[in-house]
Amino acid sequence: MYLLVDEADPPQQRDSLSRQIASEVGTIAIPYPNWDAFLDHLRQVGRNFVILDEFQRMLATDRQAISRLQHHWDTAFRETGPSIVLCGSSVGMMERVTAKRAAPLFGRIGADLRLRPFGYPAARLLYPQLSEEDRVRRYAVFGGTPYYHEFSIDRPLREAVESAFLSATAPLVEEPQNLLRMELQLPTRYNSILFEIGQGTHDLRGLESKVGVKKGGLGPYLEALRHELDLVKMEDPVCGVRRQARYVFDDPFFAFYYRFVFENRPLLEIGRTAAVWARIEKGLDEFVGFQFERVARETLTLLNGDEWQGIAIDFEQIGRWWNRQGDEIDIVASGKDEVLVGEVTWSKNPMPLGDLRRLELKAREIERLQGRPVRFAFVARAGFEQELTAEAKAKGSILLDLQALQQILDKKYARPRQ
């Protein structure tokens, strides 16, 4: 039995739950004067599983609800059922009542599933009629949460962006703000950090400078953004020197929002939709290009342990590489026997031979190759110039254009047959 907890005061929440149960079992709604009455009734409805969705709403309005659930679980539900499935979109609050040692439900959880956004291989299945190029664009904008794509499916991209973001009343124009307010009492500094990451500042010292705090002052905020909110992840350069960590968004949706929407909300308040779209359109290709690097890495991860055109792909870690001198490599996949080093481009033009030459030079700067040979990989939206193709194949490199990416993804992550 699926029950949705309303965003209301406790008496209204219990009234709603009563009506939902009555509808499920075909009886008259019974008013619940307290949480004990609700939980007692759950034992009587004869269902093996009861799902309480948006459970954090119950906790936010009445902390006694969790203590009563704990009591009923310990004295009855554990032995007789039903099993209770607690779902909540507030990650921090759910962890506080289940995962920490002092939490009311600690040790009582049979399975703990932390649902994360889809990666590109799954998100692309939402757009079976689009080209691979357009699928990448939709993922770059709307990320991996299926709900956000409801505003995008069966619409041109501009119309989708405008309807979802670009008005004072658009359904997603306040979405990240609402998520922060749900989890945090004072989200201002968190917004500042997310905005600066969205504008391209990824190192700790740079973030401290832009946000205006002393050294070490962002530690608790970044920890919350990483571990409690799942909005940001910390990356180290693969095969590089540690202590050069970068902070990046865990999902493209938030990267898009803090790159293009957040600072333009004043224009949206006065109806300047066209002006904001013009700014987005001007920077969109560059933005999608950065997300395309993620797509390339996810595709190679699907090939890990397999082979592509006779080349075995086997690595233990994949990511990016950079150094303090400003050199960067889009893909570094570290394996026991070799290191895969790759260049990714979203350019409208085929990748030229010069990109191969530059990648060879940068690969020599990788600090922790440890004697392992390097194999090159090239991923390009528009394919490759003939000179690069010939030399890359002669060197045993991997070449992936959009057609090859589509072939891999269709084979490895196809929609299941009905």
Q: What confidence tens digit (pLDDT) does each residue in 377-389 have?
A: 999 999 999 999 9
Decide if pLDDT at 396 tops 90. yes
Contact indicator for 308, 330 with CB cutoff of 8 Å: no
Of 15-19, 67-71, 159-163, the poorest mean pLDDT is in 67-71
Identity of the amino acid at 27: T
**Any idea what the Cα angle at residue 164 is, between residues 158 and 170, rounded to 5°?**
125
pLDDT for residue 385: 97
Q: How far apart are CA 54 and CA 8, in angstroms?
A: 12
Fold of 120-292: Arc Repressor Mutant, subunit A (1.10.10)
What average pLDDT does the chain have? 93
pLDDT band at 364; cut points 50, 70, 90: very high
3-state secondary structure of 330: strand
Answer yes or no: CATH 3.40.1350.10 is held by domain 296-412.
yes
Identity of the amino acid at 200: G
Place of tokens 């010939």: 390
Contact indicator for 259, 291 with CB cutoff of 8 Å: no
* % of the chain surpassing 70 pLDDT: 98
Backbone φ/ψ region at 81: left (φ over 0), alpha (ψ -120 to 50), beta: left
Decide if pLDDT at 417 tops 70. no
pLDDT digits (tens, 9 = 90+) for 252-299: 999 999 999 999 999 999 999 999 999 999 999 999 999 999 999 999
* Total residue length of the chain: 418
pLDDT digits (tens, 9 = 90+) for 74-126: 999 988 889 999 998 777 777 777 777 777 787 888 888 888 899 999 999 99
CB atoms within 10 A of CB 174: 15
Q: How far apart are CA 374 and CA 174, in angstroms?
A: 46
More reliable by pLDDT, 411 or 414: 411
**Which is nearest to 224 in space by CA: 254, 191, 190, 198?**
190
DSSP, res 117: -
| Average pLDDT over every residue of 329-343 | 97
User: CA-based diameter of the chain, in Å?
Assistant: 77
Q: How far apart are CA 412 and CA 416, in angstroms?
A: 11
| Average pLDDT over every residue of 328-356 | 97
- Which helix or strand (DSSP H or E) is residue 26 part of? none
Q: How far apart are CA 32 and CA 34, in angstroms?
A: 5
Decide if pLDDT at 47 tops 80. yes
Side-chain half-sphere CA neighbours of 392 within 13 A: 27
* % of the chain surpassing 90 pLDDT: 79
Decide if pLDDT at 60 tops 90. no
Contact indicator for 92, 181 with CB cutoff of 8 Å: no
Decide if pLDDT at 418 tops 70. no
Beta strands 339-345; 328-334: pairing state: antiparallel
Contact indicator for 216, 222 with CB cutoff of 8 Å: no
Segment 399-404 long-range contacts (CB within 8 Å, at least 24 positions apart): 400/296, 400/299, 402/131, 402/132, 402/133, 402/136, 403/132
Q: How far apart are CA 24 and CA 45, in angstroms?
A: 9
Decide if pLDDT at 415 tops 60. no
pLDDT for residue 98: 76
- CB contact set of 84 (below 8 Å; sequence gap of 6+): 49, 50, 52, 69, 73, 77
Domain residues of the chain, as ranges? 2-98, 120-292, 296-412
- CB contact set of 154 (below 8 Å; sequence gap of 6+): none
pLDDT band at 414; cut points 50, 70, 90: low
Of 173-182, 195-204, 262-271, 299-308, the poorest mean pLDDT is in 173-182
